[in-house]
Amino acid sequence: MDIERILIDRVKKVVLEQYGTDLPTVELQPTRKDFEGDITVVIFPMLKFIKGNPVAIGTSIGEALNSQLESIDGFNVVKGFLNLSISDAYYLYFFNSLDTIEKYGFLPDTSGEALMVEYSSPNTNKPLHLGHVRNNLLGYSVAELLKASGKKVYKTQIINDRGIHICKSMLAWSKFGDGKTPASEGIKGDKLVGNYYVAFDKAYKEEVAKMVEAGKSREEAEKEAPILKEAQDMLRKWEAGDAEVVALWEQMNQWVYEGFNKTYTDLGVDFDRLYHESDTYLLGKDVIEEGLSKGVFFRKPDGSVWIDLTEDGLDQKIVLRSDGTSVYMTQDLGTALQRVKDFPDITGMVYTVGNEQDYHFRVLFLILKKLGYSWADQLHHLSYGMVDLPSGKMKSREGTVVDADDLLAEMTRTAGEISKELGKLEGYSDMEKQALYRIIGLGALKYYILKVDPKKRILFNPEESVDFQGNTGPFIQYTYARIRSILRKFEANGKVQDISETNPDMPLHSKEKELIKIIEQFPTTIQQAADNLSPAQVANYIYDLVKEFNSFYQQLTILGEKDTEKRQFRVKLSKTVAYVIESGMSLLGIQMPERM
């Protein structure tokens, strides 16, 4: 049991004994740097349950803890804050115990919970772009965090492979493509198809402009443009199973899938199961009938089916059109049920979708709860903000998006330029340099995006993200490589001795103690990040650990320490820091270089 758990339990016991009150929670936080102590018990929240002066209450609790726990070395009270000093012996005991933990910070899959995490979910009419990059990185990292917190996780996506937007690319290729293929053009299939989505929009705008010039209103022109009519006709043929249209659809989608898979591999994300909208868009009609029979839905005179959510602070929502065709809500209801059928152990789902869909998911989750599905209480919308660029907003139809593949290449190039300027790569072969540039560039991109709370918008600046100073991926990677260098030198000097056990009576320097304190917080950080679906908590924890290690490195000697016991301890401490950095960054999907 860690010191925080021990303190929470003991504070509750002391309060019960002294005040006859059973506290529901105890708030702890690290002691501020300008006060003496290691862990602070916040007294103010207790005043809801205990009447009295916060300083007197804090002093009373502090005296009890100091007398009852050997790990408490002393305390002080500042207003409503009880600052506790934890003994060196406790931290050394904890540090030595790490040798018995197989994968520190990660819980085994014993919770009995199984969650499906959906992310990516692109359209097959264009390549992945910067917005998809944030989506994929968030979804993948949250899935890894949930696994690390002891849950079984299935990673999935639903590919939007049907609809008018898909037919626009298909029609443009038919009209302007001249039989071109990814192979003939030497480009990825998703890029080729995306080019024709842009080509459709260009042709459509030209037709609209001509019709307006000929006297049509803009509204009429936009509805009646011939090329749009052709795309709508192609969609009807696809839905009717027209062999020629379906064959074209299959061919162009296959080009896109091959392109997507290359991007996913380069980005370092994967999936356990794929769903396609072409298979799921008819799902959900059985759910509508079930809801009607339960009185959850109602039918209007025109035959359309609705749900009234006004008592829940929302509005009325259509779930089936009057002609019996589905809306997106119908499909999402059906897909959710299909996933539970496919994976019966699922106890909840996480949908990684931008915040423009916040309302949609509030309605979806509420409907599933009203239908009585037990797992509906464990549905989460991982809502995230847009990614902006210094140059402005991205627009797919105009071809002004930041292509994901181009971005990855740009990050690698930028990492190479900055590394060369810093002169850190003497003795590397060209192949080794390129591999390292890729690790640094991709690490910079992932860390820059994941260190920000998902709900916030991001202004993405590639050059800023590859800075080797500050809260960046390369700064963390460089510190890790520095530690690996220390460990190699230690081994090369023939000093490989038993460093598994540290004398529990050895006094700790404040910098050593601070590192151990942060290391102890790693499991709690993982659990909180998983609970909050926020990789940012792990990212910023690792940054704090790295900052503290660099301070430790600058103020104390490691390999040059004369005292053998201290030298071995500091090497072991450095090795543990490296392990936590590598483990934490792996949850963000970021590789650590052995040398930089």
Put the strands of the sheet holding 298-299 in their side by side order.
298-299, 305-308, 316-320
Res 389: pLDDT? 73
Fold of 3-86: Gyrase A; domain 2 (3.30.1360)
Tally of CA atoms within 13 A in the half-sphere of 233 that contains its CB: 8
- Which tokens go with 234? 């192609």
CATH superfamily of 404-586: Isoleucyl-tRNA Synthetase; Domain 1 (1.10.730.10)
Give the DSSP letter of residue 161: -
Res 100: pLDDT? 78
Exposed e or buried b per residue across 454-487, where buried means at least 16 C-beta atoms within 10 angstroms of its C-beta: beeebebebeebbbbeebbbbbbbbbbbbbbebb
How many whole angstroms separate alpha carbon 200 and alpha carbon 169? 7
Q: Which residue, among 95, 51, 91, has the nearest Cα to 71 in the 3D structure?
A: 91
Res 467: pLDDT? 86
List the end-to-end C-alpha distance of the chain, in Å, as a whole number. 37
Q: Where are the beta strands (DSSP E) in 420-538?
A: 458-459
How many whole angstroms separate alpha carbon 22 and alpha carbon 321? 54
* CATH 3.40.50.620 residue ranges for the chain: 114-388
Res 399: pLDDT? 47
Q: CB under 8 Å to 537, separation ≥6 — which residues?
A: 525, 528, 529
Q: What is the pLDDT along the chain (596 residues), one digit of tens a residue?
A: 689 999 999 999 999 999 999 999 999 999 998 999 999 999 999 999 999 999 999 999 999 999 999 999 999 999 999 999 999 999 999 999 998 788 999 999 888 899 999 999 999 999 999 999 999 999 999 999 999 999 999 999 999 999 999 999 999 999 999 999 999 999 999 999 999 999 999 999 999 999 999 999 999 999 999 999 999 999 999 999 999 999 999 999 999 999 999 999 999 999 999 999 999 988 999 999 999 999 999 999 999 999 999 999 999 999 999 998 889 999 999 999 999 999 999 999 999 999 999 999 999 999 999 999 999 999 999 999 988 877 654 444 444 578 899 999 999 999 998 888 777 677 788 899 999 999 999 999 999 999 999 999 998 888 888 888 899 999 999 999 999 999 999 988 765 554 556 788 899 999 999 999 999 999 999 999 999 999 999 999 999 999 999 999 999 999 999 998 999 999 999 999 999 999 999 999 999 999 88
Q: Contact, 316 vs 309, CB < 8 A?
A: yes
Q: Which residue, among 12, 27, 25, 22, has the nearest Cα to 64 in the 3D structure?
A: 12
* Secondary structure of residue 306 in the 3-state scheme: strand
Give the DSSP letter of residue 329: H
How many whole angstroms separate alpha carbon 78 and alpha carbon 214? 79
Res 16: pLDDT? 96
Res 461: pLDDT? 83
Give the DSSP letter of residue 178: T
Distances (CA, A) of 311 to 97, 361, 367, 439, 455: 54, 17, 13, 52, 27
Res 393: pLDDT? 47
* CATH 1.10.730.10 residue ranges for the chain: 404-586
How many whole angstroms separate alpha carbon 146 and alpha carbon 348? 12
Q: Is the dihedral angle over the CA atoms 132, 137, 138, 143 positive or is it negative?
A: positive
Domain 114-388: CATH architecture, name and number where available: 3-Layer(aba) Sandwich (3.40)
Are β-strands 39-42 and 81-86 bridged in parallel, bridged antiparallel, or unpaired? antiparallel
- Which tokens go with 64? 């009890």
* CATH 3.30.1360.70 residue ranges for the chain: 3-86
- Which tokens go with 485? 């260098």
How many whole angstroms separate alpha carbon 155 and alpha carbon 140? 8
Distances (CA, A) of 41 to 27, 90, 160, 164: 6, 18, 51, 59
